[in-house]
Structure 1
Amino acid sequence: MKVLVTGGGTGGHIYPALAFVDYVKKVEPDAEFMYVGAKRGLENKIVPQRDLPFETIEIQGFKRSLSLANVKTVHLFIKSVFTAKKILKNFQPDVVIGTGGYVSGAVVYAAAKMGIPTIIHEQNSVPGITNKFLSKYVTRVATSFSGVSNYFPKEKVTLVGNPRAQEVVTAQKSTILSNYDLDPEQPTVLIFGGSQGALKINEAVVEALADFSKKEYQVLYASGERYYTAVSEKSQQLEAKNISVQPYIHDMAEVMVNSTLLVGRAGATSIAEFTALGLPAILIPSPYVTNDHQTKNAQSLVEAGAVEMIADTELTGAKLVSLIDLIMDNPAKQKTMAAASKTQGIPDAAERLYNMVKEII
């Protein structure tokens, strides 16, 4: 089987694709893969580190207001479709899977026009413009949230979940927290705002550091590179042994499975990860995303009792500490939230997507 995957711009589009590739490599070792990304996307940093053939296409997104830049965007899209067709002819995939981002628009569209079986994977509860456009042409649509099916042709849609969940669920309990100068036996709150960090979360954590230093639980905070120096210095001044500030956490799956509570944004990948593990969470949806989709991502989990949610505009250090205490000081609430979280996860997502592929090729 030959599979071409395409998606880029953000980790939320890239990591599900790579998780799916890793799963298929395990169940079908002879399968061949190619990844197609955008020339300026984050995938240029991530994919080359993997043992995976990688091609890039020049493309850019549409401006949401009237702009001359959109003339160039249309030109680049047409050009990128021709480039994609050349890549497809050379690789001759049995199936093309797009996980989002403008580059997947060109590649999946080209594949559909060439008669190649195609799948788009939508990670969020509200689809992006690219996947809404592609849904008219593709063979099947794979979703991570049940409610998103209303945006697509219903006969094409199957709920599969996010392949990243199946990758994370294999993580094991360990002493990984000792790598961050924390006690593996202590209850742990993991806080992060994404790979780049999040200003409002960072401000709240800085306000809360003194309170955190007095707690019986410990805090592991991934600040992002841009905020690391300032937060780390403030934490060191407190000489708190129960707080660890890191610029980035590379072994996130293993850290998650050894944590008690997660605090962070409501991105689709994070949600797939912690629900697969059955972790309770406090979510602070980013207000800077298209169609406020992070709030919608989180809402069903709030209704299920799996998470608590704080609006970005209402976040303060005091409110953050108060809500964390409410959960960490109440083992019964932790247990209830964890059970609810587990019911919302789809831990066999990669397998489901693989079965969809097998159905159409």
Structure 2
Amino acid sequence: MGKKIVLTGGGTAGHVTANIALLPYLKEKGYEIIYIGSYDGIEKRLISDYDVKYYGVATGKFRRYFDPKNFSDPFRVLKGFKEARKILKEEKPDVLFSKGGFVSVPVVNAAARLGIPCILHESDLTPGLANKLCVHAAEKICCNFPETVNHLPARKAVLTGTPIRDELLLGNAMAGKKFCGFEDNKPVLMVIGGSLGAQSVNEVVRNALPQILPYFNVIHICGKEKVDNLRLDVPGYKQFEYVKAELKDLFALSDIVLSRAGANSICELLALHKPNILVPLSAKVSRGDQILNAKSFEQQGFSMVVQSEDFDETVLVKKIHELYESRDRFAAKMSGSNQRNAAKTIVKLIEEATK
């Protein structure tokens, strides 16, 4: 009998891409892989490209603010717990690995109730609410930042980094240039707003295009349904809702990157040694985790940081030129970092939990 693992996590691409990065390593070790996500979240779409059995369960969001759904979502979580328990009793996995996100809460707690060992991964500098609700059920909790270990039970926390999809390291710049249709040799700025898009970042970038495009070609990954149809034919400006297979080539083509400060995104930039400007989500609309992530990367010399409140066209144009002029210094700092082989470290923890 082969070993069987359940992966869970979803809500944003960041909660799924790390799981995807583990797939080849788990398959190499002979694991049968099952994924439990939400009924129709982004995780279902992303996992559909891989030969992995997928189950959907009900999920609710845990909010720190008032919303009428706060009264109904606990019942959805309870429903998700019952559905997850039924799936787990049928599949009988040896171990569960969770990347976080709200869908993971009912799944992890159902697994723990059934005595299935659980390993969690916390991407951000301080644990998110979903993972906080699962800490008690975890055997080990993998972390990205040295600072995170201080926020978790000492015997459970392991500094691993985030698994990066191997194919991201194998991009071809010429293939990326052809995919975008760029015809000149201007340097390339890539803008990543996160899988759900970042409307404020999108607007600033688009408003600044007249000042940027004389100097840079721009690749803009703007999020689902956030393409600007009025700018489809602007020379040197290419928009995408989301990029899958070609992302490695677009990274290879890009000289500098403008990004939100989601933990998985910035870990990819670090692994690829891409000089970057981070615009973390404001504490007004988030728990402030991206601000902490960005600060850590800034202190380590990996990133320039502009707070959301200060981000406008003037600042953007100025920072892009500053970053491009000092790009070699940032790349050198990143290449000298101790980027751990996270995937192999995590798979080793999974194997230890399976014994």
TM-score, normalising length: structure 2: 0.90
Cα distance between partner residues in 1 of 2:169 and 2:56 = 31
- Asked whether 1:23 is paired with 2:25, we answer yes
Are 1:321 and 2:317 an aligned pair?
yes
Task: From the superposition, tell whether residues 149 and 50 of structure 1 become closer, same or farther in structure 2 (CA, over 3 Å).
Answer: same
How far 1:303 sits from its partner (Å)?
0.9
Q: C-alpha separation between the residues in 1 aligned to 2:328 and 2:168? A: 20
1:184 Cα deviation from its structure 2 partner: 8.1
**1:165/1:158 CA distance change after superposition, 3 Å:** farther
Following TM superposition, by how much is the alpha carbon of 1:225 offset from its aligned partner in structure 2, in angstroms? 4.9
Establish whether residue 353 from structure 1 lines up as the match of residue 346 from structure 2: yes
CA distance in 1, matches of 2:286, 2:54: 28
Name the CA distance, whole Å, in 2 between partners of 1:207 and 1:86: 51
1:13 aligns with 2:12: no
1:281 to 276, 279, 287: 276
The residue that corresponds to 2:253 in the other structure is: 258
Are 2:308 and 1:312 aligned? yes
Q: How does 1:70-89 map to 2 (within 5 A)?
A: 70-89=70-89
Note closer, same or farther for the CA distance 1:231–1:324 as it changes in structure 2 (3 Å cut): farther
CA distance in 2, matches of 1:225, 1:57: 23
Task: Note the alpha carbon deviations across 1:198-256, whole angstroms, 9 max, x for none.
Answer: 222222222221112322x42222333544234515x63xxx4x433444433222211
72-81 or 119-128: bigger deviation:
72-81
Q: 79-88 or 163-172: which moved more?
A: 163-172
Q: Distance in 2 between matches of 1:276 and 1:67?
A: 38
CA distance in 2, matches of 1:307, 1:231: 32
Q: Which has the higher mean CA deviation after the structures are superposed, 341-350 or 11-20? A: 341-350
Shift of 1:58: 1.1
Alignment match, 1:337: 330
- In 2, Cα distance between equivalents of 1:169 and 1:359: 28
Q: Which moved more, 1:147-156 or 1:16-25?
A: 16-25
Question: Percent same amino acid among aligned pairs?
Answer: 28
Note if 1:187 corresponds to 2:187: yes
Q: Which runs of 5+ in 2 are unaligned?
A: none
Q: Residues of 2 paired with 1:327 and 1:192: CA distance?
A: 16
Q: Counterparts of 1:199 and 1:76 in 2: how far apart (Å)?
A: 29
1:225 & 1:53 partners in 2: Cα distance?
25
1:152 equivalent in structure 2: 152
Aligned counterpart, 1:2: 4
Q: Which of 272-281 and 100-109 deviates more?
A: 100-109
Q: Secondary structure at the match of 1:154?
A: coil
Equivalent in the alignment of 2:35: 35
Offset at residue 311 of structure 1 (A): 1.2
Q: Is the 8 A contact 1:6 1:36 kept in 2?
A: yes
Q: Residue deviations 1:304-341, cap 9 Å, x none?
A: 2211111112111121111111122x2xx211101222
TM normalised by structure 1 equals 0.89
Q: CA deviation at 1:293?
A: 0.7
Q: Find the counterpart in structure 1 of residue 126 from structure 2.
A: 126
Distance 2:56 2:184 in 1: 42
- Across the aligned residues of Structure 1 and Structure 2, the Cα RMSD in angstroms comes to 2.3
Instruction: Give the aligned partner of residue 107 of structure 2.
Output: 107
Alignment correspondent of 2:265: 270
